[in-house]
Structure 1
């Protein structure tokens, strides 16, 4: 449901744009780095309207500034900490995973590639809190960002610095992720319960011993299991989930520990 793209190129690619549009049609939120050329030409795929373009900021003696390398322009949505290092040990970098000839390590780095994951992480928190429509997520990021530069949106900072607390505080009641028991003979649901934050669920007083178990989150809140929703069931093993493939489970007396995975329903 979320893709971080700490990558970019100066040349438009129809194939890449087709892939981005395909993901957007399936309700995927894509967050992309604006680029590190320090000019007004935001790189692709951040330049595509389907993505959320992220620039980089740093803190200079208590003042937040755009990082000198960060690309800017009319396509920029928001900014996030990307650092600005004036030496290899400058703490104004972002502590990141990196590689040296001696192997993988952690190090201070700078770039819009470091800024982008801050926004991607916030998108994940928003989705976890129940905000799932990509347009709604984009609007929340815009409306709750800390305004920087010229009042309102500007090409240097977009709508401003993302504010996780303000964004989460703006969310209404979350959409529930529910688990259902279905009668395999009639195809009707006989019971449902909410899925906890830890992924646990519990049923009591179930009369049927033969059931199909599935989990569903109605991402678009239209009451139908369709493209973009999250769906899973016992014996789901990858690919686009299809409830017809759910395996019938025999419930025994007492507790039954039944685990299964879920995934988005993907359309054309």
Structure 2
């Protein structure tokens, strides 16, 4: 199995025969407030910027998500965030994906986490205001904690995402991610999020976002799980 997923990390390309879509640029800019309950209560201000560009069968996306954190009983302002780059080669149902990610989260004792991955996603359903996608990828990861101790890991990343649109104004979006360590499956991460969105007009929407994180092997003195709730306003283009 390890050899199979190691092979996934070798650069390669595939030719797709589906008709090419038109070029398109899109994105969104979000401002939100976040409350997290872990070992301590924290209050966060969030800013997210997402930019997507589609050219024929290829699509590119860049996402920057940062937060300023104030812990209960402390005056110091901490920060955490993620930066993501994704390239996809798309057919009608199947997409091949290459990703780069950078994560830092002082509240979970993560100074820096760098990862790269390659895999695929498959669209199971996209009709009648319902969308369902699954994906699988192999990722290589380097994590550095607050004591500058680093570790290298190979993980499998599987995801299940769905969207339900009740009408033109309201939708529910959910993303579920499971990432076990290839060498030791008892070392895994799980993340599930659900977002309730209300569209105000062609450019603005408001959303209530809930995220649950679980890490079976967190840093010392950090809880296995945490919960986040974000209320945000988005500008889309």
TM-score by length of 1: 0.24
Query: Which one has a larger percent strand, Structure 1 or Structure 2?
Result: 2
State the structure with bigger RCO (CA 8 A, min sep 6), 1 or 2: 2
**Higher Rg:** 1
Query: Which one has a larger percent helix, Structure 1 or Structure 2?
Result: 1
